[in-house]
Amino acid sequence: MPIVSEHDVRAALKRGERKLQVPADAIVTPQALEIADRFGLPVRYGEPPHPVAPGIDPARAVARTLVRRSPRWVAPPRRPGLAPTRFTRIAFVGAGMVGTTAAHLAAMSGMAAELTLIDVVPGLAASVALDIEHASGITGSRTRAKGGTSLKLVAGAEAVVVTAGRPRSPGMTRAGLLEINGRVVRDVGEAIAAHAPNAVVIVVTNPVDEMTYQLWRASGLPDEQVLGMAGTLDSSRFRNALAEAAKVSPADVSAVALGSHGAEMVPVVSTATIKGRPVREVLPEDKIQACVRDAIDGGAQVVALRKTGSAFIAPAHAVIEVLEAMRGAIADPVPVSAMVHGEYGLEGVFLGVRARLGRTGVVEIIEDRLDEAELAALGKAAASIKQRLGIATES
C-alpha cells in the first residue's frame, strides 16, 4: 500500500509533470492533496487490479489520517512560486546600513545578475560593491556589483530600492524627517523617471508612507510601480513579539500589521494566530496589547539603544521579502505601503496593506477582514498621512 506525501507532489512539480499518476491502492495524504490542488496538479489513480468493494476500509482511513511529517504542530510553509524569475539589475539608491545589508542579501540570494549601488558620498557605493564582489569568492555568488555617485546609474534597473536620506536619531519621530528626506526622494524620483521609467520603486526612506507618496508624485510613474517597504517589517516585529510572549517560534505565528509605518500602525489582532489558534485563545489581552506596543515602538527601541542611526538588519530582510515576492519566489501576498483605490473605503493615499506583487509592482491589493476597531484605526492612519502631506505641500 504505497503512500504519496507532499514531498512526492513537490517533486512532480519540480519535474514539470502535468499530472501525478499514482497506483490505484495508494494512500494520498491530505497534505499532498492540498499541495496538488493549490498548484493545479491533477492526481490520477491507476486502474485497480480487481473490483473495489463498496465502503471505506477502516485501516486505510486511519492510515490516511495519521500520515504526518511530524507528530507535533508544524507551521505551514510559505507558498513558493513555481518559477521565480531573476532580475537583470537591481539598483540601491543609498549605500548606508540598510542599503548595504539589503544589497549583500540580494547578492547572496542570487536574485539578480547585477547590483548597482549609488550614494552621494564619494567612494562609498563603489567600496560596498567591491566588498560584495570580494565576498563572492567565499559565497560563490554569481551576482556582479558596481557603485558610483550618479543617479544615472539607475538606468536599466528593473527594481530600484531607495534608502537614501537621513536616519532617525533618539527622540526624533518619523514625521520629523518629512521635510528633510522629502527633498531627497523627490530628486531620486525625477532621476528614476528619466533613466529607469519601467522600474518598480521600493521606498525605504522614512517616513515611508509619506516618502512613497512624494516620490510617486515627483516621478510621474503609475502608482502600481511605486510602493513602500513598511508592513513587511512591522509584521515581522509583531510576529516576533507574539512569539516571545507565547514562548513559541516566530514561524508558528501568523500575524500582519497594516496602516502607517509609525504611531498609527494597525497590528491586526483579530486574525492573528499562534500554532493555528486565534491569538486571544493563547494569550491574555494585556500581553497581546504589550505585543502591539512592541510592534509600534520596535524601531524606536533600536534607535534608543544605538544612539546614532536606526535599525538596518530587519529592514534589509524586509526589502528582500518584497523583492522575492516581486520575482515570484513568494506566491503569498505581502504587506507593503501601496496606493489604495477604494479598498477599506479609502482613496488617494499610500498605506500599509497586503498586496500581491509581480514584476510590474502591485498586482492586487488584498482587502482583509478587520474588526470595527481595526477598520477605524486604518481610516485614522490614512487621514493622518494625508494631513501630514497636506502640511508639507503648503509650507
Active site residues: 261
Could you write out the three-class secondary structure of the chain?
CCEECHHHHHHHHHCCCCCEEECCCCEECHHHHHHHHHCCCCEEECCCCCCCCCCCCHHHHHHHHHCCCCCCCCCCCCCECCCCCCEEEEEEECCCHHHHHHHHHHHHHCCEEEEEEECCCCCHHHHHHHHHHHHHHHHCCCCEEEEECCHHHHCCCCEEEECCCCCCCCCCCCHHHHHHHHHHHHHHHHHHHHHCCCCEEEECCCCHHHHHHHHHHHHCCCHHHEEECCHHHHHHHHHHHHHHHHCCCHHHEEEEEEECCCCCEEEEEEEEEECCEEHHHHCCHHHHHHHHHHHHHHHHHHHHHHCCCCCCHHHHHHHHHHHHHHCCCECCCEEEEEEEECHHHCEEEEEEEEEEEECCEEEEEECCCCCHHHHHHHHHHHHHHHHHHHHHHHC
Beta bridge partners of 268: 256
Contact yes or no for 356/364 (Cβ under 8 A):
yes
Q: Which of 137, 138, 89, 139 is nearest to 117 (CA)?
A: 89
Quick check: 152 and 191 in contact, CB under 8 A?
yes
Count of residues making up the chain: 395
